[in-house]
Structure 1
Amino acid sequence: GTFADVSQKAGVAASGWSSSTGWLDYNRDGYLDLYVVRYLDYDIENAPYCGFKGDGYRMYCDPQQFDGVPDLLFRNNHDGTFTDVSRQAGISNRSGKGLGVSLGDVDMDGFTDIFVTNDGIRNFLYRNKGDGTFLDVAYEACVGFDPHGKPMAGMGTEIADYDEDGNPDIFMTAFSREYNTLFRNLGKLVFEDVTMTAGLESGFLTLAFGAKLFDYDNDGDLDIYATNGHVTDNVELYDAELSYRQKDLLYENTNGSFLDISSQSGPAFQVKHVGRGAAIGDFDNDGDLDIVVADCGGPPLLIRNDGGNRNNWIGIQARGKESNRFGLGAKVRVTSAGRTRLREINIAGSYLSSSDARLFIGLGSETKAERVEIEWPSGKKQTLENVPARQVVVVDEANAK
């Protein structure tokens, strides 16, 4: 097959400095819409000099020197074209300096919400009101700032229910000397910063970009991966504690708190590099999730997971009918041994990345999932019972009610 650039024809060829994007069906009409994060109002032809001229050190300029630009939301017209509905949808905030976006139903009302990490200004949390518009609730939800009320230099982000309480939580990566932050969802659109109590303090000196919450060892809970690398290639010249090339981080979920197991996770986690985008997928179809990383100024890294399939697992490949074809936004609840895990099918998140649309759920030592419940974006539901482990199950919405 061949590909053609149809950006102009489709109506999505917007100007400006774009960063992360995400597909979602925000109005639940069965067609995928497009959210585009944008960064700065920057003119490369007239870029200012930043750094220490006397010492001959040049650095990238602080984003505070530039104005922000609003994000974009393109509504699918059902005919291969899109309409820019950013203003009427309520997401056109000119102060934004966005780098990452994650998608998920954080208030569990059936509509996909949007979380945006901004560089040096507060984060945005757009609650989907279900009428085609969004409301930024980052202030009252307590996800806009760090615990001291300061904005962070947000990079990547993920939405997932790490503590299995049925409420999707928010994770974001940040700059050196800021913490990669975990916001625990307490329900009713209130979050708590649990970064320190959850054991994530080892990321203080790293500069993390791409991140994924996934079950690397298939024991049933979501672990955290972050890829790292500074933005300034000569940072060692003026800061002895920091480095341009950095090792990645892997945290094991231990009953809702995390243990840094990076040093025990194989040679790939001993390599210093300049990580940016990070995506997950089972590229070798062996049942455990692998990682691909886009490096800055270097070749991509394919990090194969060896041994994560020792525990049992099931995969879900959604086939929407009334909902969008890939089932993005569908909620999946898997019950085994009296334990129910909530997952949501989404491919966006991390940083400048898109992951495997198949959903993988670890079962530990259990040989079957007693129940698999799928709640489609259309509102239809279906249930599978006694599903044998170690297989990818194709779930068709045509069989839902």
Structure 2
Amino acid sequence: MFSIRFSLIFSALLFVLLWSNISCQTDDIQDVYIQPTFTNVSEDESNELSFDFAEMDTDINNEINVAHVTPFLESSSEILSEGNENWNDRPGVAVFDFDNDNDLDLYITQKAKHSNRLYRNDGTGVFTDIAKSAGVELISSHSTGVMTCDINNDGLPDIYVGAWGDPEDQLDFRSPSDIQGNADTLFLNQGEGKFLDISEQAFGESRNIRSATSISCTDINNDGWLDLYVANVGAHDFRTFNSPSHPGHVNFLYLNNRDLTFTEIASEVGLAGSQIRMRSTSGEPILFEDPKTGEMFEGWDPTRVDRLGNQVGEPVPQTHSTLFFDFDDDLDVDLFMADDGDTLKIYKNDSTKTKIIFTEVGEALGIDYSGAWMGFALGDYDGDLDLDVFVTNIGSHAMLRKPQDNPTGSCEYHQRFAWGTCANFMLRNDGVGNLSGIGQSGIFTEVGSTIKITPNKILAPEALKSEKIYRSLPIPTGIAAYEFGFGTTFFDLENDGDLDLYWLGSNKNMGAGPGGDVYPGVGRLLRNTGSGDFEDITVEARILDIADVDYSVLDISSKEFNPQSQRISPRFHENGKGVAHGDLNGDGYVDIVGTNSSGNIWTGDFENLVAAPGPVFIWLNGGGKAHWITLKLKGRMSIDGTGSNADGIGARVNLSYKVFGSSDTHTQVKEVYAGGSYLSQDSIWLEFGLASANLIEEISILWPSGREQIIRNVSVDQILEIIEPESS
């Protein structure tokens, strides 16, 4: 009891310190890693899921230095005016500064009959919900993903909110229903805390009424005006991966007409969705015939109908997330696409200001694996000055049970073959090269299974226990041994100059509900050792996706350590979905926001079910004494109507500095982007950790317009706005 009370008192004090910008001393970080080793695979076919602690095939003498881990403080209940309860199956979050007051605000989505939240940050540790007065509640909407960007170049971020149909009406989009609840919404920021719904004006008959998940803002044709890409999955009532037919809904690409209207062009340019890839055990396409037309479709049964007899789905995959950035250094944004039950896709952009052209290159790169692809994180994790991509998937849970024999859309079927995987991917950027028949392209190599990770001693993944792996499956290594992911982000945890990685995710349900043991993801924080390898510090950093964790005792040799009573176990996991980052309290250290699905949980002796909300977690970074700088880029379109978009989305920044006591120059690279993760959006401000550097030698910016800008001798520990220069 004493330890719990002490922990609560300590947490309260730490919360005050975090919002008072009082820093604590942190030591240098050691480079610590190991390569997991494994024994023979068990012949036990049951492979029942159980949760043990510190029983992995690894040399546990290679331990994480706990003294060098500054913990997060989960603060949602204290700082959110409406508390942290959220009612939604697909809750999204955006971190952005809607009122241009130099601190970051939040927009969080909920399902119908529950107001979405627009939390205004007052800069003192209080986030007040002003959704009603701002006009962005959307109480009738089944809201999902959210994206913010300046669509009209007036210097104010606007809000796009995705939606999908009523998850219980057994109707697909072709059937009449409450269109307001199903339709996406575009809010125009009018300033002074007010927004205007311009959806009908902006989209007309092309307004999305399908099943939006994640949204991206990007400038497809470099005309200085931001376009919108909306990823769709399928109607919740009919989403299934237990048969060969697992269709989604087409995706939408809205080209900005520069007058608060958009033209939908996805089908025209080949980005509405590809043909589903669904193969038999012999590798042959599994086809379904449309009896009306005689046309054959792979992976889509056109005879399936909804409650009113209307056709269900379309012959395209279910897209969870998209990521736009310039992967081939040709000054236009290319596209990564995460499809569930289908292949990972990469589209090379060769567009001009008058013609949109995309070419799929994932197959040529050899990374078009079928999986349950979910979300993206973008960052230079290995410090070689190009941008790498982390992609979330179902993860290693599928390795713990017998593979599926019958063809389905699940990665648990696909992973049996050379074309499929359930593993999370780390796509290392190997620079620009030439692909046969395609030309210049970014070159990416999947290296996740080779990355060295020091496992967490308290709560290692089950897949690191080789006896748990089903006998016919290969032993996973590196990131491939880790669990389910939806939302994800790269960020610099300690401002030491290298990128760390966080993700969370689960499906079916939270741990306390039916199905909660199928994909029990607890979230993972992998700290970069500085060499591109990682150590799992999730527990020590106090960022488990679990409510009410007692972190007071983390020494597993202590008699007081009790993982069950302390809730340090996958069985207590929440149903993770969205992740976004940003410096919420302005102390120079990046904080994390995570969303979780609501659902039904058991009460008593598993006799009754009750509805339970999914918590929104706000993990405030414990901070330190390392230096930092945050850059806010402003394109000239918002000033004189020339150059790049107002948000600077697509701009590439190289920042160089020397750490104290060294003559070596360190350089970091980042690109401004709006999308990726899952349902959610990181702050578009660029955060750089600078370790002990007390001066930045040079900031070099390549704007989407092609204009180059160099700024030298910049002070540290500040939020710096940089305006795109005039054309020379």
Query: Does 1:134 find its partner at 2:350?
Result: no
Q: SS where residue 285 of structure 1 aligns?
A: coil
- Percent identity for Structure 1 against Structure 2: 31
What is the aligned partner in structure 1 of residue 423 from structure 2? 179
1:323 is matched with 644
Indicate whether 1:33 and 2:234 are aligned. no
Give the structure, 1 or 2, with the largest relative contact order (CA under 8 Å, sep 6 or more). Answer: 2
Contact 1:220 1:363 in 2 (8 A): yes
Q: Secondary structure at the match of 1:293?
A: strand
The residue number in structure 1 matching 2:628 is: 313
What is aligned with 2:117?
Answer: none
What residue in structure 1 maps to residue 618 of structure 2? 302
Give 3-state SS (helix, strand or coil) of 2:587's partner. coil
Cα contact 2:489–2:501 (8 A) shared by 1 = yes
Provide the residue aligned with 2:488 in structure 1.
Answer: 211
Q: Which of 354, 359, 366 is matched with 2:681 structurally?
A: 354
Task: Find the counterpart in structure 2 of residue 81 from structure 1.
Answer: 261
Determine if contact 1:311/1:364 at 8 Å carries over to the other structure.
yes
- How far residue 214 of structure 1 moved from its aligned partner, in angstroms, is 1.2
Contact 2:451 2:479 in 1 (8 A): no
Q: Matches of 2:243 and 2:525 in 1, distance apart?
A: 29
Matching residue of 1:166: 385
For the 8 Å contact 1:112–1:128, the answer to whether it is kept is yes
TM-superposition CA deviations, 1:188-235 (whole Å, max 9, x none): 232211112113636646221100011111111111100122334589
* Partners of 1:266 and 1:18 in 2: CA distance: 32
CA contact under 8 A between 1:115 and 1:125: conserved in structure 2? yes
TM-score (norm 1): 0.88
Q: 1:198 aligns with which of 447, 451, 463?
A: 451
Q: CA deviation at 1:162?
A: 1.7
Matched, 1:18 2:212: yes
Give CA-to-partner distance per residue, 1:164-185, whole Å, 9 cap, x none: 2232211111114332210111
What is residue 282 of structure 1 aligned with on the other side? 583
What 5-or-longer segments of structure 2 have no aligned partner?
1-192, 275-315, 397-421, 434-441, 454-477, 548-572, 599-613, 637-642, 659-664
Instruction: Name the structure 1 match of 2:501.
Output: 224
SS at match of 1:196: helix
Provide Cα deviations, 1:246-304, integer angstroms capped at 9, x if missing partner.
32100111211222111221265664321101111111111011111111011311111
Aligned equivalents of 1:352, 1:63: Cα separation in 2:
26
How far is 1:347 from its partner?
Answer: 2.6
The aligned amino acid for 1:230 is N
Q: Where is the strand percentage greater, Structure 1 or Structure 2?
A: 1
In 1, Cα distance between the equivalents of 2:259 and 2:546?
Answer: 48
1:114 is aligned to 2:335: yes
Corresponding residue SS for 1:263: coil
**Residues 1:400 and 1:364: Cα distance change in structure 2 (over 3 Å):** farther
Aligned partners of 1:275 and 1:296 also within 8 Å: yes
Q: Residues 366 and 43 (structure 1 numbering): CA distance in 2 closer, same or farther, change over 3 Å?
A: closer
Of the three residues 323, 332, 357, the one matched with 2:653 is 332
CA 1:249–1:400 in 2, change beyond 3 Å: closer, same or farther? farther
Distance in 2 between residues matched to 1:168 and 1:334, nearest whole Å: 14
With over 3 angstroms needed to count, the CA separation of the structure-2 counterparts of 1:86 and 1:163, relative to structure 1, is same
CA distance in 2, matches of 1:299, 1:103: 29
Structure 1 position 86, deviation (Å): 1.0
1:371-390 alignment to 2 at 5 Å?
371-390=698-717
1:88 touches 1:133 (CA, 8 Å); kept in 2?
Answer: no
- Of 81-90 and 18-27, more deviation after overlay is shown by 81-90
* Match of residue 56 from structure 1: none
Say yes or no: does 1:253 pair with 2:253. no
1:291 is matched with which residue: 577, 581, 592? 592
Change (3 A) 1:17 1:270: closer
Correspondent of 2:542 among 235, 259, 266:
266
Shift in Å, 1:398: 3.4
